Structure 1
Amino acid sequence: MPLTTLLFSFQGRIGRQTFWIWNCSYYAMIIGFVVGANQLFPGIASFILPVFLLLILIPDLAMTAKRWHDRDKNSWWLLLNIPLVIGRMSVPVGANAMAANEPLLYETIISAAALICGCWILIECGFMKGTHGDNRFGKEPV
């Protein structure tokens, strides 16, 4: 599968290995960006992180959709990503933001929903096998 199709198409299927390679790369990019942004732009790092996260959102959703397809589930399962996206966009980056008081109720609810949805996605997409043979979303990934 060409890289552009892999990263930007919501069609087809991918196996667990490709999913794990993507997720390790995805989180390494986020960590690298946060570290670099805090070093280069300490005053505005918390403002540019959401922009970076939006730039890599489509590839992340496309990869996850393909993994749901491998499990013979449609792309509506991407709705589980909503609490994760909201949580990522609201995470403080700077040391000053981390020293804030206790989280507000809505932050706690979003965090709990993100944890539950993230665990579900991790188990379904990261650990469970895909459909054996062809399914309605395409051929079995290699």
Structure 2
Amino acid sequence: MSIKELLFSFQGRVGRKVYWTWNLVYYIAIFGFGIGMNVLFPAISHLVLPIFLIAALLPDLAITAKRWHDRGKSNWWLLMNVPLIVGRLMAPMDGEPMVSPSTEQMIAYTISLVCGIWIFVECGLLKGQAGDNSYGPEPK
């Protein structure tokens, strides 16, 4: 599988090693980009970081889709990411801890936590289906 197919195609399968390697690179890139922007361009970092995150979203979803495929599941399982995004958007942006979250926020955080744990276990810990499945050959 070429890099282009790996990062931009929603077809095929990847194993846990590729999934974990991608996540390591992905989060190091986000962390490094965020720090770099805050050091070099603090006045506009709050504008540029969301653009970077949106640009990195497609490859992240493509690799996660392939991991779901390895588990024998369709791209519809990517919808498990929606509560994670909503939960992050509901978090306070000023860096201050939330003293008393609303009921809606607590529900969103709980759903986000459950989805995050589910994705972590399914994609990060469990083996893929042995042999070929309807999404392609078993990754090597």
Question: What's the TM-score once normalised by structure 2's chain length?
Answer: 0.88
Q: State the distance in 1 between where 2:83 and 2:8 align.
A: 21
d(CA) in 2 for partners of 1:85, 1:128: 23
Say yes or no: does 1:140 pair with 2:138: yes
How many aligned residue pairs are there? 139
Query: Residue type of the partner of 2:6?
Result: L
Unaligned runs of 5+ in 1: none
**AA paired with 2:3?**
L
Q: Tell me the TM-score normalised to structure 1 length.
A: 0.87
1:101-121 per-position Cα deviation (integer Å, ceiling 9, x unaligned): 536534444333222211110
| Structure 2 gap ranges (5+) | none
CA–CA distance in 2 between the matches of 1:110 and 1:32? 28
Aligned pairs (5 A) from 1:52-67: 52-67=52-67
Alignment of 1:1-142 (within 5 A): 1-88=1-88, 97-99=94-96, 102=99, 104-105=101-102, 106-142=104-140
Task: Judge conservation of contact 1:14–1:67 (CA < 8 Å) in 2.
Answer: yes
- Within 1, Cα distance between the matches of 2:53 and 2:117? 20
Calculate percent identity across the aligned residue pairs.
50
For residue 47 of structure 1, report the CA deviation from its aligned partner: 2.7
Change (3 A) 1:44 1:114: farther
Q: Is the 8 A contact 2:92 2:98 kept in 1?
A: no
In 1: Cα distance, 2:50 partner to 2:90 partner: 8
Q: CA RMSD in A?
A: 2.0
Q: Amino acid of the residue matched to residue 60 of structure 1?
A: D
Matched residue type, 2:38: N
SS of the equivalent of 1:123 reads: helix
